Homo-oligomer: A and B are copies of this chain.
């Protein structure tokens, strides 16, 4: 089989819609979490191909929502595409705004939170081959909450 012909059979152009959705890209719907480790977040896989060693995904957090509090061996390379909010990376809580870049190193707890008035959307590049995210244990959460800045971040799901 000719790999170029196979690749060429896929659409090369996919139009963006005004609502940050894309032609031919499935949006994975909200799935709320009992432990409140994430809230009101959707995912769209923009690029994933056997010939690409990276994947590009778009995550959108509704106003007041937040991404999963997690860590893993693989790195995240993030570009904020719309909105603003705050993010936790390791022990740092930082404001984030449109087009800011965030690097999440290996095995570093992280979470992205939207402001309460607008959605927060971000692109996330990862390795195609990667480990599964780890969720925090009660002991991990206690350790994170020992830092007042992190406690305030985690305790305020809708920060304006």
Contact = CB atoms under 8 A, between A and B. Distances in A.
Interface string A10-45: 111111100010100100000000000000000000
Interface stretch (A49-57, A133-141, A149-157): A49-57
Given A16-B98, A125-B125, A103 B47 contact: yes
Contact of A100 (B13, B74, B104): B13
A5 B160 CA distance: 33
Interface of A: 3-4, 7-8, 10-16, 20, 22, 25, 46-47, 49, 51-56, 74-75, 77, 79-81, 87, 89-90, 92, 94, 96-108, 123, 125, 127-129
Instruction: Give 7 closest A-B pairs by Cβ, nearest first.
Output: A54-B54, A16-B99, A53-B53, A7-B105, A47-B77, A14-B101, A53-B127
